[in-house]
Amino acid sequence: MKLQGTMQINDKGHLEIGGCDTVELAENFGTPLYVLDEQYFRQNCRRYYRAFTEKYDGVVLYAAKTLLTLAVCRMVDEEGLSLDVVSGGELYTAKKARFPMERVYFHGNNKSAAELKLALDYKVGRVMVDNPHELQMLDRLAGEAGVQAKIMLRLTPGVEAHTHEYIKTGQIDSKFGMVIENGQAMEIIKRALALEHIRLTGLHCHIGSQIFELQSYAHAAEVMLGFAAEVRRETGWQPEEMNFGGGMGIYYTAADEPQSVSKFADTLAQAVKNLAPQYGLAAPKVLVEPGRSVSGPAGTTLYTVGAVKSIPGIRTYVAVDGGMGDNPRPALYQSRYEALLANRAAQQPQEMVSIAGKCCESGDMLIWDIDLPAPAPGDILAVSSTGAYNYSMSMNYNRLPRPAMVLVKDGAADIIVARETYDDLIRNDVVPERFNEGRVAKIAGAGR
């Protein structure tokens, strides 16, 4: 496993993150356990902030969907980033963390009236409008509230990024945004410009996720600015800001070769800077919405090894105490991860094994075919690059409680998400009162 962020192997041969011995973390907080490397997370925020604001007129939005908790919101705020939220729940979390609402951008392809009202009530910075239905609804709600809503419009530029099919969102056949090529994008812009309670500030696109080809962004810039020039000719309006979404790829395994954030900025923001005058436009502010590349590499999950089952001549299954409940990505996208035994981190791999989760699903396999030093019950398995889309996509399948999360820095570990309890699992369950009155048996038995 590649050591990332503040990871190192200490003199006991244990994996250390943020100056904390992960074997002790597992003992003190139990497993499965999400460990977030504070220094690394903040460093990733800072890299983006510097790359897009020092040389360019940029704004960096952290994509909350990758990992959002109250403490995470506070760090994002302290590092000067803005926030991209996609639901009332994410918005509420930001509000409760006292995140400055003018730096919140509200996304989503099907926001409800209640969510839009909440956004207006909180006075979010921008609503990222996806479709005409939402535009109309927002205009009405803003009118009722006596305000003008600042919006950006999400467009589908038809740029294909090289990534997994499920996480490709820039192509034309997409549930997100309005298509440029067939005229729908132009139509919604004209509508937005005509509405009294709407102020259109800019345009947005997102071309995919886990992208390594920076040229895809330069291409998106070309398509978006070319279109903006057309809009200007037809309407006289031009965007003050252009948002190019997130998508920068990260290291999961040796097959991944991430690009640096400064190269990303130099490709995208420079392309916008160069193209704007060519298209007769004033250079817009460049917005980006990185998520995975901020939170992903800063997270590690610790598990305890339980049953080890060898099928001679076939494979060895090493079962851990978590799985698709805390990390659905391998089951959903066949994602690959690296891992090591945290309590024997200095030992050489001896055996190829496969890591199984504990859900009742054959598909609940965390890692197929990984070389490890012959895992035994009680070993602590550390899986790296789990900071993004793990906790945020976690679930209670099989009624497994969700893990705790600790934030580690300089030898200190603080719980930022408490471990779910069995009581949490039944908290919202309700038994109809009539079950206690003996009526059910009668109804069920009637006429049989």
By CB under 6 A, tell whether 357 contacts ligand LLP: no
From CA 262, how far away is CA 68, in angstroms rounded? 25
Token pair recorded at residue 339: 């891992």
Size of the site for ligand LLP (CB under 6 A): 22
Q: Which residues contact 183 (CB under 8 A, 6 or more apart)?
A: none
Report the residue number, 66 or 238, with the smaller CB distance to ligand LLP: 66
Pairing of strands 15-17, 20-21: antiparallel
Work out which of 167, 218, 308, 346 binds ligand LLP, going by CB under 6 A. Answer: 167
Report the residue number, 10 or 109, with the smaller CB distance to ligand LLP: 109
Provide the 3-class DSSP secondary structure of residue 212: coil
Report the residue number, 178 or 345, with the smaller CB distance to ligand LLP: 178
**Inter-residue contact 416 to 69 (CB < 8 Å):** yes
Interface mask toward ligand LLP for 267-296; x: CB under 6 A: ----------------------xxxxx---
**Least CB distance to ligand LLP at residue 311 (A):** 30
Q: Tell me 167's DSSP state.
A: G
**Least CB distance to ligand LLP at residue 425 (A):** 24
**Least CB distance to ligand LLP at residue 304 (A):** 24
* Max Cα–Cα distance, the chain, nearest Å: 81
DSSP string, 347-376: SPP-EEEEEE-SSS-TT-EEEEEEEES---
Stretch that binds ligand LLP, among 233-241, 245-253, 369-377, 378-386 (CB under 6 A): 245-253
By CB under 6 A, tell whether 389 contacts ligand LLP: yes
By CB under 6 A, tell whether 134 contacts ligand LLP: no
By CB under 6 A, tell whether 66 contacts ligand LLP: yes
> Which of 111, 145, 148 shows the shortest CA–CA distance to 128?
111
Work out which of 47, 107, 111, 150 binds ligand LLP, going by CB under 6 A. Answer: 107
By CB under 6 A, tell whether 206 contacts ligand LLP: yes
Interface mask toward ligand LLP for 34-63; x: CB under 6 A: -----------------------------x
73 catalytic per annotation: no
Interface mask toward ligand LLP for 320-339; x: CB under 6 A: ---------x---x------
**Inter-residue contact 361 to 36 (CB < 8 Å):** no
| Contacts (CB under 6 A) with ligand LLP, residues 2-21 | none
Token pair recorded at residue 439: 């009526």
**Least CB distance to ligand LLP at residue 314 (A):** 30
**Inter-residue contact 341 to 372 (CB < 8 Å):** yes
**Inter-residue contact 346 to 16 (CB < 8 Å):** no
Provide φ and ψ at 409, rounded to 5°: -165, 130
Residue carrying the six token digits 């895809």: 216
Provide the 3-class DSSP secondary structure of residue 95: helix
Which residues carry out catalysis?
360
Which spans of this chain sit near ligand LLP (rule: CB under 6 A)?
Answer: 63, 66, 84, 107, 167, 169, 206, 209-210, 245-248, 289-293, 329, 333, 388-389
